[in-house]
Amino acid sequence: MKENIRTLTKEELKEKIVEYGEKPFRAGQIYDWLHVKLARSLDDMSNVSKALKASLAEDYHCDGLKIVEVQTSAIDGTKKFLFGLPDGNVIESVWMKYKSWDSVCISSQVGCKMGCKFCASTLDGCVRSLTAGEMLDEVYTIQKYTGERVSNIVVMGSGEPMDNYDNIVKFVRMISNEDGLHISQRNITVSTCGLVPQMYKLAEEKLEITLALSLHAPNDEKRKALMPIANKYSLKEVIAACKNYFEKTGRRLTFEYALVAGNNDSDKDAAELAELIKGINAHVNLIPVNPIKECNFKRSDMGAVNRFKNKLEKMRINVTIRREMGSDIDGACGQLRRKHMEESSGC
C-alpha cells in the first residue's frame, strides 16, 4: 500500500523531488499545500506541474481521512469523529471547544495493547500504530471540518503513544514546525501509561511538550489490578522517570487519575497519592471513570470526587477535576469505534 504523503518531512519531500529530477524549491510549495492549505488531493495544487504530480502519485497517496461519523454534543458542542483509514480500519478523534481555544484529542494507534481494565480501546488489542501523516491528518481534517484553528492537541485517544514512539516524535515536530500548522509544543500533551524507557528517551528529545502520566492508583498493588503495565514497571521506577522528565525539560507533569468507586477513591488513597507525588512539580487531573459496558467499574459520585480533591489540596497538591465534555455522546475513549465495529460485524 502506498504511503500517506503527509508523513514526509519537508527535507524528505525535497530529497524525493530531486530524485524525480525537479527543482528542490518545489518541495516548499507542495509542503505548503499539504500542511498549511490542508489540501486533500494532489489536484488541488494549482502551481505544481502535472508531471510532478504524476510522479508523486506513483509513490504516495494524498487521500485524507474519510469521515465515517460525527457525533455532536447538544450540551457543549464537542464533536466526536470516527475516521476511516485507507486500509479499512477506523479511529476516533475528539474536538472540544473552550471559551478562547479549541483542543483536539487524537488517537495514536488503532486499538491498544496495554490492557487497562477500564478502557474500551484495548478490548480488541492493537491492530497497528498510526503514521505521523495519519495523526497529522486527524488534526487537519478536524480543522477543515470545523473551520476553526486548532490551538491545543492532546494525544490521549486510543493507543499508547510511547508504544509508537518514533511516529509520535515526528508528529510533534511536524505539527509544531513553522512550515506547517505551527502549533506551539507547549500546547501539546502526550500521555503514557508509564513506559519507563521511552519516558527517559522523550526527556532527551528537546521538546517542550507536556507529559501526562496515567497514574490511576496510589500504590503498586492497586495499580496492577487496573493496569497490566504496572507488572512491568513499579511506581518507584515510573515516578523516577517523571522526575527526570521535569529535570531535563523544565515542563510540569500532569498525573491523570481516573476515580473508580470503592476502588481508588478513599481518603486513604488520596493520602497515599499525595505522599507518592509530593515535591514533584505536577498537576493532578481527577477524572470520574467513564463506565463501559464490558467491565463493571462504577464512577465515583461527585461527593467522593470532591472529597478526594479536598484531601489532596489539604496536602498541598495541585489538583483539578477534569471538566467533562460531550457527556451525552459516546464519551469514553474507544466506545464509538467499538460500536461501529460491532455494527459492521452484525454483533
CB 110 within 8 A of CB 85: yes
The residue annotated as part of the active site, out of 105, 119, 126, 333, is 333
Q: Is 92 a catalytic residue?
A: yes
Specify the residue, 160 or 269, whose C-beta has the smaller distance to ligand SF4.
160
Nearest alpha-carbon partner for 154 in 113, 197, 93, 195: 93
Q: How many residues bind ligand SF4 (CB under 6 A)?
A: 12
Q: Does 193 bind ligand SF4 (CB under 6 A)?
A: yes
Determine if 195 is a binding residue for ligand SF4 (CB under 6 A): no
Candidate segments 11-19, 89-97, 157-165, 197-205, binder of ligand SF4 by CB under 6 A:
157-165
Determine, following the binding rule CB under 6 A, whether residue 116 of this chain makes contact with ligand SF4: yes
Smallest gap from residue 26 Cβ to ligand SF4 (A): 39
Per-residue burial over 175-200, b if 16 or more Cβ lie within 10 Å, else e, is bbeeebbebebebbbbbbbbbbebbe
Question: Which residues lie below 8 Å from residue 144, measured CB to CB, with a gap of 6+?
Answer: 38, 40, 64
Specify the stretch interacting with ligand SF4 by CB under 6 A; choose among 36-44, 119-127, 168-176, 279-287.
Answer: 119-127
Which stretch, 10-18, 114-122, 169-177, 308-316, contacts ligand SF4 (CB under 6 A)?
A: 114-122
Least CB distance from residue 117 to ligand SF4, whole Å? 9
Distance CA 270, CA 308 (A): 6
Q: Which of 242, 257, 267 is nearest to 321 (CA)?
A: 257
Q: Is 122 in the site for ligand SF4 (CB under 6 A)?
A: yes
The backbone region for 110, taken as left when phi is positive above 0, alpha when psi lies in -120 to 50, beta otherwise, is beta
Catalytic-labelled residue, pool 22, 92, 134, 256: 92
Active site residue 205: no
Q: Which is nearer to ligand SF4, 137 or 160 (CB)?
A: 160
The three cell numbers of residue 274 are 499525595
Distance of alpha carbon 326 from its chain centroid, rounded?
17
Output 194 or 326, the one with its CB closest to ligand SF4.
Answer: 194
Q: In whole angstroms, give the CA distance from residue 107 to residue 84.
A: 13
| Beta bridge pairs of residue 128 | 110
Site membership for ligand SF4, residue 121 (CB under 6 A)? yes
160 counts as binding ligand SF4 under rule CB under 6 A: yes
Among 17-25, 39-47, 115-123, 298-306, which window interacts with ligand SF4 (CB under 6 A)?
A: 115-123
61 neighbors 74 (Cβ within 8 angstroms): no
276 lies in the binding site for ligand SF4 (CB under 6 A): no
Count of C-beta atoms within a 10 Å radius of residue 87 = 9
- Chain positions contacting ligand SF4, by CB under 6 A: 112, 114-116, 119, 121-122, 158-160, 193, 214
Q: Which sequence positions are flagged as catalytic?
A: 92, 333
